[in-house]
Chains A and B, each alone.
Chain A
Amino acid sequence: MTSPILEASGVTMQFGGLRALNDVSFGLAEGEVIGLIGPNGAGKTTLFNCLTGLYAPTSGTVSSRGTPLPHDPARVTEQGVARTFQNIRLFPSMTAEENVLVGRHVRMKQSPIISLLHGPGFRKSEREARERTAELLEFVGLARFSDELARNLPYGDQRRLEIARALATDPSVLLLDEPTAGMNAQETEATRQLIFAIRMLGTSVVVIEHDTKFIFTLCDRVLVLVQGEVLVEGTPDEVRGDPRVIEAYLGAPPDEVEAQIHEAEETQ
């Protein structure tokens, strides 16, 4: 078996006295879709931050195809891991097209001097980037908003634009952090269709969602994270019937833990 396209082994993240992640390990195979569920404050976004190099884990490693990933988001993106954010982080004063073009950054070659002189290499690379951008905007259903400033887009479209921007980096792994959060029923449905379509492209995906029904229909495997630890891991059927999962979800959500994590993250 080939080594996983994304692998966390023994990832522990300590913020002061708080252990947000404790010895988390999992592997993502090529083309696989993993759902990450768990109560608020379980450490799901913290795990994403470790996977993308935003945080350097206190211990443990994150690797891709057997090579460890650097703790440098720019280089992690270059190696094919892209993500979206729980709270939308677009470039508000750039158009939809430009946002996606920034996503193309690592896949474009342009020397600044040639760009200033508008040389032939520059024009070719701009044209290719714009063609790819147009395809992606079409794919997420935003072609008509190409020249609209990101901040003027409706909420659901902003989330989809984030997905297009992440796809523009040609990721082999896409991390989606609550892609349907805050959406109305119609937008949620459209976004789910989109994620199914991304799955069809063969991109490996890790998706954080609260809606377990959606996760269970979409994913090959599900990871349940509770208080920074992997409580259960398995196929949707295995996870669905596990009494520990039901307890974790029905038991009191550890609000205090969540508050502590946020506090600790902000002081980082």
Chain B
Amino acid sequence: MLSTLLSQIVNGLVLGSLIGLIALGYTMVYGIVQLINFAHGEIFMVGAYGGLAMFTYLLPTALKNHWYFALPILLIVGAAVSVLVAVAMERLAYRPLRGAPRLAPLITALGVSVALQEAVRVFYPNATAAVPFPTIFVPGTLIIPIGDGIPIKYSAILLVVVALALAYALNTFVERSRMGRAMRATAQDPDVARLMGVDPDRVIVLTFVLGGALAGVGGILYGGLYNTINIDMGFQNGIFAFTAAVLGGIGNIRGAVVGGLAIGLVKALGGQYLPGGTAYDYVWIFVVLIVVLVFRPQGFFGETERVRA
């Protein structure tokens, strides 16, 4: 009994950390340019494929079996691929539409999302089906000796630790650095930020770079944990992450992480204990979202609508 509950909490926290990591990208971009970047899930997906390509075709066989070589290389390559795609996306798809009615970039985001999925399907070998992904970390499972034992994969521990560490680093960066303050200032009043010498283009690019890097790292950790990736992974987890960002209060960094963890827990525990089992776990996520939004439309940490002069 107890061990089932604890195992599901562990599962929830693992999934929640991943969702939180992706949600940071949604929430930052929304905070700065008020765009829901629906293609952000695909940024997560291309990071995973980029890392896999590196592992399969470029990494010398001698290094493949040593995780302390392979893992950092894959994380960096995954992040780099995601950052490149995210920056290209901003430059080519969103920047020309700056100042256009909100609906235009939103529809564009959906288009970019489909385009990226199809690009990977067409150009990555055998990407029409799920492709296997190496573990790239200490294989196996740790059994925490409580009750009947609570299993947790080492790769899952890695995911949680890296995700929370990155979220913490991001928060510190945004709270107390020159560019971090410039980001917050731009989010609050872009015109005045410009008058203080903040270049909005730089802030926007930095936002996509940071969000892309986190998503790319997330993609690698996801692949290492589940040992399979597919071109739909971005869409699925992207929807969860977007929901997490809204739940936590869109535009708020802490909110994205808390929202992610909340969604992970609801999915794991709802699938275990609520009627309908895992077939209904998606339903509970959105039930929670709706209930929270009814009582607290700005999300957990969101601010109530600001009046802008």
Contact with A along B170-211 (1 / 0, CB 8 A): 001100111111101100110111111111100000100000
B181→A110 contact, CB < 8 A? no
Given the known A-B contacts A91-B189, A98-B181, A105-B181, are A77 and B206 also in contact in the complex, defined by CB atoms under 8 Å?
Answer: no
Does B92 belong to the interface (CB within 8 Å)? no
A115→B197 contact, CB < 8 A? no
For window 126-159 of chain A, which residues contact chain B by CB distance below 8 Å?
126, 129
Given the known A-B contacts A74-B194, A89-B192, A105-B196, are A110 and B309 also in contact in the complex, defined by CB atoms under 8 Å?
Answer: no
A91→B184 contact, CB < 8 A? yes
Q: Closest B-chain residue to A151, C-beta based? A: B306
Given the known A-B contacts A92-B188, A94-B184, A94-B185, are A110 and B179 also in contact in the complex, defined by CB atoms under 8 Å?
Answer: yes
Given the known A-B contacts A93-B303, A112-B179, are A77 and B197 also in contact in the complex, defined by CB atoms under 8 Å?
Answer: yes
* A-B contacts, CB under 8 A, total: 92
Measured CB to CB, the closest approach of chain A to B112, in angstroms, equals 25
Given the known A-B contacts A77-B195, A165-B196, are A94 and B176 also in contact in the complex, defined by CB atoms under 8 Å?
Answer: no
* B-side contacts of A88, CB under 8 Å: 309
* B-side contacts of A232, CB under 8 Å: none
Number of interface residues of B (CB under 8 A): 28
A91→B179 contact, CB < 8 A? no
Given the known A-B contacts A91-B184, A91-B189, are A126 and B197 also in contact in the complex, defined by CB atoms under 8 Å?
Answer: no
Does A101 belong to the interface (CB within 8 Å)? yes
Does A255 belong to the interface (CB within 8 Å)? no
Does B169 belong to the interface (CB within 8 Å)? yes
Given the known A-B contacts A93-B188, A93-B303, are A102 and B177 also in contact in the complex, defined by CB atoms under 8 Å?
Answer: no
Contact with A along B147-187 (1 / 0, CB 8 A): 00000000000000000000001001100111111101100
Q: Closest A-chain residue to B201, C-beta based? A: A74
B303→A83 contact, CB < 8 A? no
The residue from A72, A94, A122 contacting B177, defined by CB atoms under 8 A apart: A122
Measured CB to CB, the closest approach of chain A to B131, in angstroms, equals 32
Alpha-carbon separation in the docked complex, A74 to B172 (Å): 25
B169→A116 contact, CB < 8 A? yes
B196→A103 contact, CB < 8 A? yes
* A-side contacts of B306, CB under 8 Å: 92-93
Number of interface residues of A (CB under 8 A): 38
* B-side contacts of A165, CB under 8 Å: 196
Alpha-carbon separation in the docked complex, A59 to B118 (Å): 50
Contact with B along A65-106 (1 / 0, CB 8 A): 000000011110110001101011111111000100111111
Contact with A along B264-306 (1 / 0, CB 8 A): 0000000000000000000000000000000000000001001
B198→A74 contact, CB < 8 A? yes
Does A54 belong to the interface (CB within 8 Å)? yes
Alpha-carbon separation in the docked complex, A169 to B194 (Å): 12
Alpha-carbon separation in the docked complex, A90 to B306 (Å): 13
Alpha-carbon separation in the docked complex, A106 to B196 (Å): 7
Q: Closest A-chain residue to B188, C-beta based? A: A91
Contact with B along A223-267 (1 / 0, CB 8 A): 000000000000000000000000000000000000000000000
Alpha-carbon separation in the docked complex, A101 to B177 (Å): 9
Given the known A-B contacts A74-B199, A125-B178, are A94 and B188 also in contact in the complex, defined by CB atoms under 8 Å?
Answer: yes
Measured CB to CB, the closest approach of chain A to B79, in angstroms, equals 12
Alpha-carbon separation in the docked complex, A51 to B204 (Å): 26
B197→A78 contact, CB < 8 A? yes
Q: Closest A-chain residue to B197, C-beta based? A: A106
Given the known A-B contacts A105-B178, A112-B206, A126-B176, are A52 and B169 also in contact in the complex, defined by CB atoms under 8 Å?
Answer: no
Measured CB to CB, the closest approach of chain A to B290, in angstroms, equals 27
Alpha-carbon separation in the docked complex, A265 to B185 (Å): 24
B177→A105 contact, CB < 8 A? no
* B-side contacts of A73, CB under 8 Å: 191, 194-195
For window 29-86 of chain A, which residues contact chain B by CB distance below 8 Å?
52, 54, 72-75, 77-78, 82-83, 85
Measured CB to CB, the closest approach of chain A to B70, in angstroms, equals 23
Does A108 belong to the interface (CB within 8 Å)? yes
Alpha-carbon separation in the docked complex, A52 to B188 (Å): 20
* A-side contacts of B184, CB under 8 Å: 91, 93-94, 98
* A-side contacts of B180, CB under 8 Å: 115
B188→A105 contact, CB < 8 A? no
A83→B195 contact, CB < 8 A? yes
Measured CB to CB, the closest approach of chain A to B190, in angstroms, equals 11
Alpha-carbon separation in the docked complex, A224 to B205 (Å): 44
Contact with A along B204-233 (1 / 0, CB 8 A): 001000000000000000000000000000
- Which 9 A-B pairs rank lowest in CB-CB distance, beginning with the nearest? A106-B197, A77-B197, A115-B177, A110-B178, A91-B188, A73-B195, A73-B194, A102-B185, A89-B192
